[in-house]
Amino acid sequence: MAAGIISCGAAPAGPDSACPASSRAAVTLRDVVVAPRGRTILEVPALAVAAGEFLAVVGPNGAGKSTLLGLVNGLVRPASGTAVVLGRDMRAPGAWRVRRRVGLVAQMADVDPRLPISVLETVMTGGYGRLGLLRRPGAALRALALANMERTGIAHLARRPFGQCSGGERQRAAIARALTQQPDILLLDEPTSALDWHAQRDIMALVSAIHRERGADGGPPLTTILVTHDLNALAPPLREGHVPVPPSPVDRVACMAGGRIAWAGPLDQALDAGRLTRLYGTPISVIDHHGRPVVLF
């Protein structure tokens, strides 16, 4: 985490523990309830995500993880409570405008290979929100999209039909699209699902590098919120030989169950066999593999 950013890694290991709200918070939730058609699906007494923090959110299906992302992205409106994202009250009129500053990499879905849109055109759509309705995409947006494709390793796919890309290539394109939005918050919803092990490692390494790079040059930091079922993706991967492994970018892990944050704290405490067993309701073990925690179930 960048110097000067509030550290949330020392959050108390109790129900709904959270980093205290501050003027540097990118997201502040207090007494928030999401209840479509009167049925409560998310209830957050307190959660603050500091600007520049990397928060991982884990938990079983139906825990409310994707709803939490929708709340931050302005797609889900809270029924009550205080929800402030990048200084904007998410219950106020026009809260949807926060989506211009929040990039979302959604869960991967099947794509028709006949879809008549190239990878470059797909990535460029990330910048449409900032253009507005009356401005057409031009050379500047194209250059930004190409730069982000270069950063994500898919510049050579610019003219390929998006539907003819592999799963890993589509995820890299989705990340490049989100970066073209020039976000202050990056949301990732299961970015490694349906990918092989090598692609999973590459995508997580890419996400980690992008998070570290933003703000390193003195610019505004990137706040990253990652939802994942792959607990082993949170720890840095082993590398062949003696090549140093960069530390995990994850500052804090929030464990969700039943629409609530059951616990939040540092990664090393989150990857605890007893805690994970209670969270998922199934026996889970955590072993040490050459200094790296590995979750088994």
The whole-number pLDDT of residue 261 equals 96
Judged against a pLDDT cut of 90, whether residue 178 lies above it is answered with yes
Q: Which residues of 6-39 are buried (b: 16+ CB within 10 A; e: fewer)?
A: bebbebeeeebbbbebeeebbbbbeebbbeeeee
DSSP 8-state class, residue 64: S
The whole-number pLDDT of residue 111 equals 75
Distance (Å, whole) CA 72 – CA 221: 17
Token pair for residue 11? 């959050």
Write the pLDDT tens digit of every residue in 10-47. Answer: 333 343 344 444 448 999 999 999 999 889 999 999 99
Distance (Å, whole) CA 157 – CA 153: 9
Strand order in the sheet with 223-227: 102-105, 185-189, 223-227, 54-58, 252-257, 260-265
> Higher model confidence: residue 11 or residue 204?
204
The whole-number pLDDT of residue 245 equals 62
The whole-number pLDDT of residue 241 equals 57
Domains present along the chain, CATH in parentheses: 25-296 (3.40.50.300)
**Of 104-108, 178-182, 226-230, 276-280, the least confident:** 104-108
Judged against a pLDDT cut of 70, whether residue 238 lies above it is answered with no
Judged against a pLDDT cut of 90, whether residue 89 lies above it is answered with yes
Contact 273, 249 (CB under 8 A): no
Judged against a pLDDT cut of 50, whether residue 78 lies above it is answered with yes
Q: In this structure, which amino acid lies at residue 19?
A: C
